[in-house]
Structure 1
């Protein structure tokens, strides 16, 4: 059986609010799912993924509502996304907020992963659901997309903002219900698709949000990275090193000895441990630099020389050469291709 990981209490609360609104006996649902109601008292807690899936299944059976997931999107709040919700609130544009989904969505839970792609002037957000129960899975996908759309409209302070199209792997839950999707999302919805995907016009990325706060965003992202490091089940060492590198790069520093010091080990020990993981410090530095470079180019007005300096390059030409080797484009070409 596939390990469903964990889910944040913040994400779980959204379903509890929906259950209460539907008049469901939440105490009975908690008991049958093997959950203690007092877990709702914790803002930082997490629950077992199998229990979360079980709770959603019980709620589906209790309500007999084929569009339950669609309607639970009405109960989304910034807190539903844990610290990611507050990061997106502090972003300047919708594009900046969308770019934060994939790196930090694990904080919300292990329900699925997001893939972002650009094609012919459109943004494609594809969500790969990890939940496998045939009744639960389509409801979870509906919930994620409905929540994204509702929350994006709130962030942009625009109730008319809509995707261009939505593609769902699920089969249509009865012809009479198709209109429910189109009315809520104000766009064509295609069922029986190969992937669960939302497409957006690229110009929507420039939509200004209501509460931009770049300093708060940086603080929240640093906190989020710390939380991610504690959740990473693959290798805590690599997560910790990447986090430390990112913190240094915010000050234009790239010293391996300082990274080792933050971990309480020597630089030589760090090299040996990374070698055992099959990576090098330089590889991790390159990865973090590239990710931060793309973020600066997409979501800031910083000049390319300033970006190079922030990322610890002594010369802008070195930044150009390294970036092009990875992305296949110069930083300027990369930025222009996204406009």
Structure 2
């Protein structure tokens, strides 16, 4: 249980820092409270940050092996994005890869290849938000579920909206690739969720001007400023009112309720099965909700995790199935969600897999269960 206690302590420290620097719901400048980064006590970041690296390297025909050996990573970690990595390992990998490619904004190539579901439950939530403003603020509110290193703030100045990236730890090292990747991925998410997409007025980076500015300007379709006091995406404030094409009030309300529960329970896993249940709900539908990935997040070997769960009379498969059915029932009872959308949210391969699993657990297919329980609920209200 040592790994679980370590997991608990790390989350408690991070959450304490989060509450300390967020006052009354208003964002405070992290730089006033920033903790210093220590390599011997590293901040862990998601290995999903490096998804797309293999494809980006293939574009320019470079061999990843020397860089992987230099920083102590494996091809498997780049392929799956499982688990977490020390921040300095990720930064050094990105920097060495950029140097090998002779491309000082190589991280932009990586961002282009990253999957749209990288932010797990949060990416699902913002899809159903009513407006871009609500989507961005939700992503900020639940950011700690995805990143313990960085955070974002949204505010308006005159007619412009500024979406700014801050960090919770002071890292002393070259962060050009990390900053480029972060802003590119967030802008890419905005393009995917909002139609028509907001047009950027400008993009601001704290680092010096790189050589290949034209590639950045083409990607962001906006002027790029360097040596700025912050890393920021700037767009018209009026775009915050843009309605999102996937908006659904009922699904949004159910999903937001789930995320609020996850955020409240973030630092309180009292047992290994509770920690696994929490991580399952955080990663459902992201491609990271499987035994190997969850084990890596808990710093446990998959067999060790299975043994610990067995000692508590359960298994990973059982916890995954229970979480899926619990959430499915909530969506079916409180929204008019389609089965295709529901299967995607819960991480099933297709609707048939959802119907089969749901029927085995409840004895009836999802739509029949929905009819029965909504009928009972209606009669109870009479």
Is TM (by shorter chain) over 0.5? Answer: yes
**Match for residue 155 of structure 1?**
193
The correspondence for 2:213, drawn from 178, 198, 223, is 178
Structure 1: distance between partners of 2:79 and 2:250: 29
1:33: which partner in 2?
Answer: 71
Aligned length: 232
> 1:71, 1:146 within 8 Å by CA — same for their partners in 2?
no
Aligned partners of 1:222 and 1:28: how far apart in 2? Answer: 46
Q: Aligned in 2, Cα 1:99/1:44: closer, same or farther, shift over 3 Å? A: farther
Of the two structures, which has the highest relative contact order with CA contacts closer than 8 Å and spacing of 6 or more?
Answer: 2
Distance 2:66 2:258 in 1: 36
The answer for unaligned runs of 5 or more in structure 2 is 1-35, 271-382
Q: Are 2:243 and 1:208 aligned?
A: yes
Secondary structure of 1:209's aligned partner:
coil
Question: Displacement of 1:225 after TM fit?
Answer: 4.2
Q: 8 Å contact 1:8–1:107 — kept in the other structure?
A: no
1:124 corresponds to which of 159, 162, 175: 162
- Match for residue 234 of structure 2? 199
String of CA shifts for 1:276-321, please: whole Å, max 9, x gaps: xxxxxxxxxxxxxxxxxxxxxxxxxxxxxxxxxxxxxxxxxxxxxx
* Structure 1 match to 2:369: none
Matched, 1:217 2:217: no
CA offset at residue 18 of structure 1?
2.8
| Structure 1 position 5 matched with structure 2 position 43 | yes
TM-score (norm. length: structure 1): 0.59
What whole-Å deviation, never above 9, does each CA across 1:133-188 have from its counterpart, x for those lacking one?
543x12211112222222212222346x32112221111114xx333332322222
Unaligned runs of 5+ in 1: 238-339
RMSD (Å) for aligned C-alpha atoms: 3.1
Q: Are positions 1:188 and 2:223 aligned together?
A: yes
| CA deviation vs aligned residue, 1:190-244 (integer Å, no higher than 9, x gap) | 2111111222211111222232233333444444445545654xx889xxxxxxx
2:133 corresponds in structure 1 to 95
Q: How does 1:51-70 map to 2 (within 5 A)?
A: 51-70=89-108
Alignment of 1:19 onto 2:57: yes
Offset, 1:104: 2.0
Rounded to whole Å, the distance in 2 between the matches of 1:205 and 1:154 is: 15
Q: Secondary structure at the match of 1:47?
A: strand
TM-score normalised per structure 2? 0.53
Aligned equivalents of 1:226, 1:58: Cα separation in 2: 40
Aligned equivalent of 1:107: 145
- The Cα of 1:17 is off from its aligned counterpart by 3.9
Output the CA distance in 2 between the equivalents of 1:32 and 1:230: 38
Please state how far the C-alpha of 1:100 moved relative to its aligned partner. Answer: 1.8
**Which of 197, 202, 205 does residue 165 from structure 1 map onto?**
202
Deviation of 1:65 after TM superposition, in Å, equals: 0.7
**Partners of 2:54 and 2:142 in 1: how far apart?**
23
Q: CA deviation at 1:88?
A: 1.7
Contact between 1:10 and 1:108, CA under 8 Å: does it hold in 2?
A: no
Aligned to 1:73: 111
